Structure 1
Amino acid sequence: MKILGLPQKETKENIELLNVLLSNFQVYYQNLRGLHWNIRGKRFFELHVKFEELYNQAQLRIDEIAERVLTLGGTPLHTFEDYLANNKLNVANNITNDEKAVEMVVNSLADLLVIERELLEKSGAINDEGTNAMMSDLITEQEKQIWMMQAFLG
């Protein structure tokens, strides 16, 4: 985008990849809602609250990603059809077991990290500091979340 001083071709590619990330975050968010609703067992109270915390956090990230797409001159994807077409995450369907639920979160975060690291590399290459900083923050946050979830799993 010329007004931001970024090369147009590479910025367009980053917008497309941000939309992939947005789509995957929407699936991650919905997975977390399902885990929150369906968790059972002795760790119910602990995980019910944790999954709510995570989906509230994911909702904020979704908005930030969509706004970054807009800032770069793109249009954020906003249909379930688009989300599913771009999804790379496993879909959590009726997971009630505590360990399986936490493993789903860990695996989802690991898959999101792959997309974010690609964006970090591409945004760094064109000095897109806004996208770069966002990806750096997401990566740091999610690496810590993975560590904590793995500690929970033992």
Structure 2
Amino acid sequence: MTLNILGLDKKKTEDLAGDLNELLANFQIYYQNLRGIHWNIKGKNFFDLHIKFEELYTDANLKVDLVAERVLTLGETPLHTFEDYTSRAKVPVGQNVSKDVKAVELIVNSLTELLKIERQILDKSSEASDEGTNAMMSDFITEQEKTVWMMNAWLENSI
């Protein structure tokens, strides 16, 4: 077994970096969706949602950076083109979303896809003894599960 500079199995960390790049691509689509709904939201919930969407895209932007830096830490190169992102995206693209319910549904659907990817990475990082990636995924999952719960609670009152 060949070890990388972190003392982790090189093959396993290469695979993890590939998975992290998939997560990065999907986070970039999610981030752009959040920017779009922040800009385009209309209706009586505008003020509350406009602020919430800004909070979410600011957080997503931070997570994008954390994921890209983790890829680098593992010795690989993070994806960085729109073509890379769109070709790997599982997160739905929200185009011209301006209605509150549709916007919140887009967030829930996007986070559901991100959580699937993060749970796969969590399992693999545990198997690879990669505590750095494991801790990051655990933190992301905890935060995003709470956001999904909150968004679903909001949707329950809006339908």
TM-score after normalising by structure 2: 0.95
- Is residue 47 of structure 1 aligned with residue 80 of structure 2? no
Alignment of 1:1-154 (within 5 A): 1-154=3-156
Task: Show structure 2 runs of 5+ residues with no match.
Answer: none
1:75-114 residue CA offsets vs partner (Å, 9 max, x unmatched)? 0100001001111111000011101100100010000000
Task: Give the distance between the partners of 2:122 and 2:4, measured in 1 at CA.
Answer: 20
Task: Give the distance between the partners of 1:70 and 1:34, measured in 2 at CA.
Answer: 29
1:149 Cα deviation after fit:
0.5
1:33-67 residue CA offsets vs partner (Å, 9 max, x unmatched)? 00001111000000001000000000000000000
Q: CA RMSD in A?
A: 0.6
For the residue of structure 2 that corresponds to 1:3, the secondary structure is coil
Task: Give the distance between the partners of 2:121 and 2:97, measured in 1 at CA.
Answer: 30
Question: How many residues are treated as equivalent by the alignment?
Answer: 154
For the residue of structure 1 that corresponds to 2:5, the secondary structure is helix
| Percent of aligned positions that are identical | 63
Task: Give the distance between the partners of 1:110 and 1:42, measured in 2 at CA.
Answer: 27
1:94-153 residue CA offsets vs partner (Å, 9 max, x unmatched)? 011101100100010000000000000000001100000000000000000000101111
Letter in structure 2 aligned against 1:54: L
Task: Give the distance between the partners of 1:108 and 1:120, measured in 2 at CA.
Answer: 18
For the residue of structure 2 that corresponds to 1:108, the secondary structure is helix
1:2 Cα deviation after fit:
2.3
Task: Show structure 1 runs of 5+ residues with no match.
Answer: none
For the residue of structure 1 that corresponds to 2:21, the secondary structure is helix
TM-score after normalising by structure 1: 0.98
